Amino acid sequence: KIEHVIWLQTAFIGDLVLSSASFCLLAAKRKKIKQHLITTAAGAEIYKSQAEISGVYVLRKKNIKFLGDLFEVKKILRQKGLNKKNTLILQAHKSYRSSLSSFYLSFPTSTFEESSLSFLADWRTPKVAVFHEASRQSLLLASLNISREEILSVRPKLKGLSFTGEKTWHKLFLQEDKKFIALVPGSVWATKKWPLSSYKDLALKLLGETEYQLIFLGSEKESKETLWLEKEVLKAEPKFKERIINLGGKTDLSELLMVFPRLLLLIANDSSAIHFASAFDLATVAIFGPTSSKMGFSPKASRKKSIENDDLDCRPCHVHGPKICPLSHFACMNSVSSQKVFLACKELLS
Protein backbone atom coordinates (compact mmCIF):
# COMPACT_ATOMS: atom_id res chain seq x y z
CA LYS A 1 0.00 0.00 0.00
CA ILE A 2 3.02 2.29 -0.13
CA GLU A 3 2.28 5.29 -2.39
CA HIS A 4 5.12 7.58 -1.31
CA VAL A 5 8.78 7.04 -0.45
CA ILE A 6 10.74 9.79 1.29
CA TRP A 7 14.49 9.52 0.82
CA LEU A 8 16.48 11.23 3.56
CA GLN A 9 19.96 11.78 2.12
CA THR A 10 22.07 14.73 3.32
CA ALA A 11 25.56 13.32 2.69
CA PHE A 12 28.47 14.60 0.57
CA ILE A 13 27.91 15.41 -3.11
CA GLY A 14 29.47 12.14 -4.30
CA ASP A 15 27.09 10.10 -2.14
CA LEU A 16 24.18 12.21 -3.37
CA VAL A 17 25.06 11.41 -6.98
CA LEU A 18 25.36 7.70 -6.18
CA SER A 19 21.86 7.85 -4.68
CA SER A 20 20.52 8.28 -8.22
CA ALA A 21 21.05 4.54 -8.68
CA SER A 22 18.48 3.85 -5.95
CA PHE A 23 16.05 6.44 -7.26
CA CYS A 24 16.17 5.03 -10.79
CA LEU A 25 15.81 1.43 -9.63
CA LEU A 26 12.76 2.25 -7.52
CA ALA A 27 11.22 4.26 -10.38
CA ALA A 28 11.71 1.29 -12.73
CA LYS A 29 10.39 -1.41 -10.39
CA ARG A 30 7.60 0.46 -8.56
CA LYS A 31 6.29 2.93 -11.11
CA LYS A 32 3.28 4.03 -9.04
CA ILE A 33 5.33 5.14 -6.03
CA LYS A 34 6.11 8.85 -5.84
CA GLN A 35 9.60 9.63 -4.59
CA HIS A 36 10.39 12.63 -2.39
CA LEU A 37 13.91 13.71 -1.44
CA ILE A 38 14.97 15.51 1.73
CA THR A 39 18.52 16.69 1.12
CA THR A 40 21.06 19.50 1.23
CA ALA A 41 21.08 22.61 -0.96
CA ALA A 42 23.62 20.84 -3.20
CA GLY A 43 21.36 17.80 -3.47
CA ALA A 44 18.43 20.04 -4.41
CA GLU A 45 20.53 21.64 -7.16
CA ILE A 46 21.29 18.22 -8.64
CA TYR A 47 17.84 16.65 -8.36
CA LYS A 48 15.45 19.51 -9.10
CA SER A 49 15.60 18.52 -12.78
CA GLN A 50 15.47 14.72 -12.38
CA ALA A 51 12.16 13.11 -13.34
CA GLU A 52 12.34 10.28 -10.78
CA ILE A 53 11.97 12.75 -7.89
CA SER A 54 8.56 14.42 -7.56
CA GLY A 55 9.52 16.70 -4.67
CA VAL A 56 12.81 18.03 -3.28
CA TYR A 57 13.07 19.58 0.21
CA VAL A 58 16.14 21.23 1.73
CA LEU A 59 17.45 20.82 5.26
CA ARG A 60 20.20 23.30 6.14
CA LYS A 61 21.73 20.82 8.54
CA LYS A 62 24.62 23.02 9.76
CA ASN A 63 22.47 26.13 10.03
CA ILE A 64 20.52 27.54 12.94
CA LYS A 65 17.43 27.34 10.69
CA PHE A 66 17.58 23.53 10.54
CA LEU A 67 14.66 22.95 12.93
CA GLY A 68 12.53 25.47 11.06
CA ASP A 69 13.30 23.68 7.80
CA LEU A 70 12.34 20.33 9.32
CA PHE A 71 9.06 21.71 10.69
CA GLU A 72 8.21 23.20 7.27
CA VAL A 73 9.05 19.98 5.41
CA LYS A 74 6.80 17.93 7.70
CA LYS A 75 3.96 20.44 7.20
CA ILE A 76 4.29 20.35 3.39
CA LEU A 77 4.41 16.55 3.25
CA ARG A 78 1.26 16.29 5.39
CA GLN A 79 -0.50 18.80 3.16
CA LYS A 80 0.35 16.64 0.15
CA GLY A 81 -1.49 13.70 1.68
CA LEU A 82 1.43 11.66 2.98
CA ASN A 83 0.56 9.69 6.12
CA LYS A 84 1.70 6.70 8.15
CA LYS A 85 -0.32 4.24 6.07
CA ASN A 86 0.86 5.25 2.59
CA THR A 87 4.42 6.51 3.20
CA LEU A 88 7.83 5.01 3.96
CA ILE A 89 11.03 6.88 4.84
CA LEU A 90 14.22 5.35 3.46
CA GLN A 91 16.94 6.96 5.56
CA ALA A 92 20.13 6.63 3.50
CA HIS A 93 22.22 8.95 5.66
CA LYS A 94 23.48 7.40 8.88
CA SER A 95 24.01 10.42 11.13
CA TYR A 96 22.23 10.96 14.43
CA ARG A 97 20.73 14.14 12.98
CA SER A 98 19.14 12.14 10.15
CA SER A 99 17.78 9.54 12.58
CA LEU A 100 16.24 12.22 14.78
CA SER A 101 14.82 13.94 11.69
CA SER A 102 13.19 10.70 10.52
CA PHE A 103 11.75 10.14 13.99
CA TYR A 104 10.34 13.68 14.07
CA LEU A 105 8.68 13.27 10.65
CA SER A 106 6.69 10.36 12.17
CA PHE A 107 6.45 8.10 9.12
CA PRO A 108 7.47 4.41 9.17
CA THR A 109 11.23 4.33 8.61
CA SER A 110 13.80 1.92 7.23
CA THR A 111 17.51 2.59 7.74
CA PHE A 112 20.81 0.79 8.24
CA GLU A 113 21.86 -1.10 11.34
CA GLU A 114 24.98 1.08 11.33
CA SER A 115 23.00 4.34 11.50
CA SER A 116 23.32 6.37 14.69
CA LEU A 117 20.22 5.88 16.87
CA SER A 118 19.04 3.19 14.44
CA PHE A 119 16.79 1.78 17.17
CA LEU A 120 14.41 4.67 16.44
CA ALA A 121 13.61 3.19 13.01
CA ASP A 122 11.00 0.51 12.32
CA TRP A 123 13.29 -1.61 10.13
CA ARG A 124 17.06 -1.96 9.91
CA THR A 125 19.25 -3.64 7.31
CA PRO A 126 23.02 -4.23 7.32
CA LYS A 127 25.04 -1.92 5.05
CA VAL A 128 27.22 -4.62 3.50
CA ALA A 129 30.78 -3.30 3.36
CA VAL A 130 31.95 -5.30 0.32
CA PHE A 131 29.30 -3.81 -1.97
CA HIS A 132 29.72 -0.64 -4.00
CA GLU A 133 28.20 2.41 -2.28
CA ALA A 134 25.52 2.67 -4.99
CA SER A 135 24.37 -0.86 -4.10
CA ARG A 136 24.83 -0.29 -0.37
CA GLN A 137 22.36 2.59 -0.48
CA SER A 138 19.99 0.53 -2.63
CA LEU A 139 19.84 -2.18 0.05
CA LEU A 140 17.10 -0.09 1.65
CA LEU A 141 14.89 -1.08 -1.29
CA ALA A 142 14.79 -4.65 0.01
CA SER A 143 12.00 -3.44 2.31
CA LEU A 144 9.95 -2.92 -0.88
CA ASN A 145 10.68 -6.47 -2.11
CA ILE A 146 13.24 -5.47 -4.72
CA SER A 147 15.67 -8.33 -5.27
CA ARG A 148 19.29 -8.44 -4.17
CA GLU A 149 20.32 -9.28 -7.76
CA GLU A 150 18.77 -6.03 -9.03
CA ILE A 151 20.27 -4.06 -6.16
CA LEU A 152 23.78 -5.32 -6.94
CA SER A 153 23.52 -4.39 -10.62
CA VAL A 154 22.61 -0.71 -10.13
CA ARG A 155 24.54 2.19 -11.63
CA PRO A 156 24.02 5.89 -10.90
CA LYS A 157 22.14 7.70 -13.64
CA LEU A 158 21.38 11.39 -14.11
CA LYS A 159 19.63 13.24 -16.90
CA GLY A 160 21.80 15.80 -18.66
CA LEU A 161 20.76 19.40 -19.22
CA SER A 162 21.09 21.52 -22.36
CA PHE A 163 23.41 24.50 -22.51
CA THR A 164 21.54 27.77 -22.28
CA GLY A 165 24.21 29.88 -23.96
CA GLU A 166 23.92 32.44 -21.17
CA LYS A 167 27.67 32.34 -20.44
CA THR A 168 30.45 32.78 -22.97
CA TRP A 169 31.94 29.37 -22.29
CA HIS A 170 28.58 27.68 -22.95
CA LYS A 171 28.96 28.53 -26.63
CA LEU A 172 32.11 26.40 -26.88
CA PHE A 173 30.17 23.28 -25.87
CA LEU A 174 27.43 24.07 -28.38
CA GLN A 175 29.94 23.41 -31.17
CA GLU A 176 29.27 19.78 -32.05
CA ASP A 177 32.66 19.25 -33.71
CA LYS A 178 34.54 19.94 -30.45
CA LYS A 179 35.63 16.99 -28.31
CA PHE A 180 36.63 17.35 -24.67
CA ILE A 181 38.69 15.62 -21.99
CA ALA A 182 38.30 16.86 -18.42
CA LEU A 183 40.90 16.96 -15.65
CA VAL A 184 39.66 17.47 -12.08
CA PRO A 185 42.73 18.00 -9.84
CA GLY A 186 40.93 18.93 -6.62
CA SER A 187 39.32 17.21 -3.65
CA VAL A 188 37.84 18.21 -0.32
CA TRP A 189 40.43 15.93 1.30
CA ALA A 190 44.05 17.06 1.00
CA THR A 191 45.75 13.67 0.68
CA LYS A 192 43.32 12.51 -2.00
CA LYS A 193 44.97 14.95 -4.41
CA TRP A 194 47.40 13.60 -6.97
CA PRO A 195 50.24 16.19 -7.17
CA LEU A 196 49.51 19.15 -9.45
CA SER A 197 52.89 18.66 -11.13
CA SER A 198 51.71 15.20 -12.20
CA TYR A 199 48.47 16.65 -13.59
CA LYS A 200 50.60 19.17 -15.50
CA ASP A 201 52.71 16.40 -17.06
CA LEU A 202 49.57 14.45 -17.95
CA ALA A 203 47.95 17.52 -19.53
CA LEU A 204 51.02 18.09 -21.71
CA LYS A 205 51.01 14.46 -22.84
CA LEU A 206 47.29 14.61 -23.71
CA LEU A 207 47.67 17.88 -25.59
CA GLY A 208 50.75 16.63 -27.42
CA GLU A 209 49.40 13.25 -28.51
CA THR A 210 45.68 13.92 -29.08
CA GLU A 211 43.65 16.61 -30.82
CA TYR A 212 41.10 17.07 -28.05
CA GLN A 213 40.25 20.14 -25.95
CA LEU A 214 41.24 19.99 -22.28
CA ILE A 215 38.76 21.18 -19.65
CA PHE A 216 39.95 21.92 -16.11
CA LEU A 217 37.08 21.53 -13.63
CA GLY A 218 36.83 22.32 -9.93
CA SER A 219 34.83 24.12 -7.28
CA GLU A 220 35.39 27.76 -6.36
CA LYS A 221 37.72 26.61 -3.57
CA GLU A 222 39.70 24.60 -6.10
CA SER A 223 40.03 27.41 -8.67
CA LYS A 224 43.57 28.21 -7.46
CA GLU A 225 44.61 24.70 -8.45
CA THR A 226 43.07 24.85 -11.91
CA LEU A 227 44.57 28.33 -12.44
CA TRP A 228 48.04 27.05 -11.47
CA LEU A 229 47.59 24.11 -13.81
CA GLU A 230 46.56 26.34 -16.71
CA LYS A 231 49.49 28.74 -16.19
CA GLU A 232 52.10 26.02 -15.85
CA VAL A 233 50.93 24.08 -18.90
CA LEU A 234 50.94 27.24 -21.03
CA LYS A 235 54.32 28.29 -19.65
CA ALA A 236 55.69 24.97 -20.91
CA GLU A 237 53.80 25.01 -24.23
CA PRO A 238 52.13 28.36 -25.13
CA LYS A 239 50.91 26.88 -28.44
CA PHE A 240 48.18 24.96 -26.58
CA LYS A 241 46.37 28.11 -25.44
CA GLU A 242 43.36 27.59 -27.73
CA ARG A 243 42.85 24.01 -26.54
CA ILE A 244 42.62 24.69 -22.79
CA ILE A 245 39.42 25.80 -21.07
CA ASN A 246 39.76 26.52 -17.37
CA LEU A 247 36.32 26.26 -15.73
CA GLY A 248 37.60 26.05 -12.15
CA GLY A 249 35.08 27.89 -9.95
CA LYS A 250 32.92 28.83 -12.94
CA THR A 251 30.36 26.00 -12.90
CA ASP A 252 27.50 25.34 -10.52
CA LEU A 253 26.10 21.84 -10.04
CA SER A 254 23.38 22.36 -12.65
CA GLU A 255 26.04 23.27 -15.21
CA LEU A 256 27.93 20.07 -14.46
CA LEU A 257 24.81 18.27 -15.71
CA MET A 258 25.42 20.13 -18.97
CA VAL A 259 29.20 19.57 -19.16
CA PHE A 260 29.53 15.87 -18.32
CA PRO A 261 27.40 14.53 -21.21
CA ARG A 262 29.74 16.38 -23.63
CA LEU A 263 32.96 14.79 -22.36
CA LEU A 264 34.90 11.90 -23.91
CA LEU A 265 36.99 11.12 -20.84
CA LEU A 266 37.44 12.26 -17.25
CA ILE A 267 40.59 12.02 -15.10
CA ALA A 268 40.07 12.77 -11.41
CA ASN A 269 41.03 11.92 -7.87
CA ASP A 270 38.75 9.86 -5.62
CA SER A 271 36.05 12.55 -5.52
CA SER A 272 32.48 13.34 -6.54
CA ALA A 273 33.65 13.94 -10.12
CA ILE A 274 34.07 10.21 -10.78
CA HIS A 275 30.52 9.58 -9.60
CA PHE A 276 29.15 12.32 -11.87
CA ALA A 277 31.04 10.57 -14.68
CA SER A 278 29.49 7.23 -13.76
CA ALA A 279 26.04 8.80 -13.82
CA PHE A 280 26.61 9.61 -17.52
CA ASP A 281 28.55 6.39 -18.26
CA LEU A 282 31.58 8.51 -19.12
CA ALA A 283 34.97 6.83 -19.56
CA THR A 284 36.85 7.48 -16.31
CA VAL A 285 40.38 7.27 -14.94
CA ALA A 286 40.24 7.52 -11.14
CA ILE A 287 43.39 8.00 -9.05
CA PHE A 288 43.34 6.56 -5.53
CA GLY A 289 45.88 7.33 -2.80
CA PRO A 290 45.02 7.09 0.92
CA THR A 291 41.71 5.43 0.02
CA SER A 292 41.15 2.34 -2.10
CA SER A 293 38.87 1.46 -4.99
CA LYS A 294 37.86 -1.59 -2.95
CA MET A 295 36.14 0.61 -0.35
CA GLY A 296 33.05 0.90 -2.56
CA PHE A 297 33.59 4.23 -4.30
CA SER A 298 35.29 3.18 -7.53
CA PRO A 299 33.89 4.36 -10.89
CA LYS A 300 30.74 2.55 -12.08
CA ALA A 301 31.06 3.61 -15.73
CA SER A 302 31.26 0.75 -18.22
CA ARG A 303 34.76 1.92 -19.30
CA LYS A 304 37.01 2.84 -16.40
CA LYS A 305 40.47 2.48 -14.88
CA SER A 306 41.34 2.79 -11.21
CA ILE A 307 44.99 3.77 -10.73
CA GLU A 308 46.50 2.97 -7.32
CA ASN A 309 49.63 1.54 -5.72
CA ASP A 310 48.59 -1.81 -4.26
CA ASP A 311 52.15 -2.57 -3.13
CA LEU A 312 51.94 -0.20 -0.16
CA ASP A 313 50.99 -1.84 3.14
CA CYS A 314 50.01 1.52 4.64
CA ARG A 315 47.00 2.07 2.40
CA PRO A 316 44.17 2.57 2.75
CA CYS A 317 44.94 4.69 5.80
CA HIS A 318 41.66 6.59 6.18
CA VAL A 319 38.01 6.39 5.18
CA HIS A 320 38.27 9.79 3.45
CA GLY A 321 41.90 10.88 3.47
CA PRO A 322 43.79 12.60 6.33
CA LYS A 323 45.02 16.19 6.09
CA ILE A 324 48.62 15.00 5.85
CA CYS A 325 50.27 11.63 5.23
CA PRO A 326 50.56 9.86 8.63
CA LEU A 327 53.98 8.50 7.59
CA SER A 328 55.14 11.76 5.93
CA HIS A 329 56.15 10.14 2.61
CA PHE A 330 52.84 10.41 0.67
CA ALA A 331 54.06 7.50 -1.44
CA CYS A 332 50.52 6.45 -2.33
CA MET A 333 50.23 9.47 -4.65
CA ASN A 334 53.87 10.35 -5.35
CA SER A 335 54.49 6.85 -6.74
CA VAL A 336 51.73 7.15 -9.37
CA SER A 337 53.46 8.29 -12.56
CA SER A 338 51.87 10.55 -15.15
CA GLN A 339 52.94 8.01 -17.80
CA LYS A 340 50.90 5.27 -16.13
CA VAL A 341 47.82 7.48 -16.02
CA PHE A 342 48.39 8.61 -19.62
CA LEU A 343 48.54 5.01 -20.85
CA ALA A 344 45.24 4.31 -19.08
CA CYS A 345 43.75 7.34 -20.83
CA LYS A 346 45.02 6.16 -24.23
CA GLU A 347 43.52 2.73 -23.70
CA LEU A 348 40.10 4.16 -22.86
CA LEU A 349 40.21 6.65 -25.74
CA SER A 350 41.04 3.90 -28.21
> For the segment 234-278, what is each residue's pLDDT rounded down to a tens digit?
999 999 999 999 999 999 999 999 999 999 999 999 999 999 999
Q: In angstroms, what CA-CA distances link 172 with 238, 245, 274? A: 20, 9, 23
Sort residue 215 into left (φ over 0), alpha (ψ -120 to 50) or beta.
beta
Residue 207 CA to chain centroid, in angstroms? 27
Q: Confidence class of residue 308 from pLDDT cuts 50, 70 and 90?
A: very high
Q: C-alpha angle 186/159/60, rounded to 5°?
A: 60
Q: Confidence class of residue 63 from pLDDT cuts 50, 70 and 90?
A: confident
pLDDT at res. 309? 96
| CB half-sphere exposure, 27, CA atoms < 13 A | 18
Residues 151-169: b if buried by 16+ CB within 10 A, e if exposed: beebbbbbeeeebeeeeee
3 state DSSP class of 170: helix
pLDDT at res. 158? 98
Task: Give the predicted TM-score (pTM) of the model.
Answer: 0.95
User: With 90 as the cut, is the pLDDT of residue 131 above it?
Assistant: yes
pLDDT at res. 319? 87
pLDDT tens, residue by residue, 89-120: 999 999 999 999 999 999 999 999 999 999 99
pLDDT tens, residue by residue, 194-246: 999 999 999 999 999 999 999 999 999 999 999 999 999 999 999 999 999 99
